[in-house]
A = this chain, B = another copy of it.
Amino acid sequence: MKLIIRNANNQDMAQILDLIKELAVFEKEPDAVVVTVEDLQNEGFGKNPLFTCFVAELNKEIVGMALCYFRFSTWKGRTVHLEDLIVKEALRGKGIGEKLYAEVLKFAYKNKVKRVEWAVLNWNTPAIKFYERTGATVLKDWYIAQMDEQALKKYVKNNESI
């Protein structure tokens, strides 16, 4: 078994989308994924890429991925946000996830950012304990607010005069 962690390329995005969809099905939200292979390719590998993606490759098959990007904190400056880390269900518990996690942290360290940040479901105790063990702090006093496309359109149309 030969596991390689490497930067993703354009041609990996179909397999990356399969991983994203597999996880969404597992989380019972298959229809929530509207992103396409073209979106992933255009946004990740254009002139001004929106994200950096690492893959775990086992015998030439992509079995895991971590996707991250830079953000900007008005207190700290440039930070890295870990958006998603997925390992194929059949291959979990073998340390592949931590290898991807370490790769993102190394990337952040090399880029001299002041902080790495991500979100975790509040009932996911094993993940929270893992993150804390690695030196992360889990903040419990924030909520995440989201406005979706429909609400955004409605707000903008109703508030053109503001």
Residues of chain A whose beta carbon lies under 8 Å from any beta carbon of chain B:
20, 24, 29, 32-35, 39, 43-44, 48, 50-51, 67, 69-78, 81, 83-84, 98-99, 102, 105-106, 108-109, 113-123, 128, 131, 134-149, 151-156, 159, 162
User: Whole-angstrom distance between the alpha carbons of A155 and B117 in the complex?
Assistant: 14
In terms of DSSP, what is the predominant structure of the interface of chain A? mixed
Shortest distance between the CB of A96 and any CB in chain B (Å): 11
Contact A24 B75 (CB under 8 A): yes
So how many copies of this chain end up in the complex? 2
Q: Which residues of B contact A119 (CB under 8 A)?
A: 142-145
User: Whole-angstrom distance between the alpha carbons of A43 and B67 in the complex?
Assistant: 21
Q: Which residues of B contact A69 (CB under 8 A)?
A: 71-72
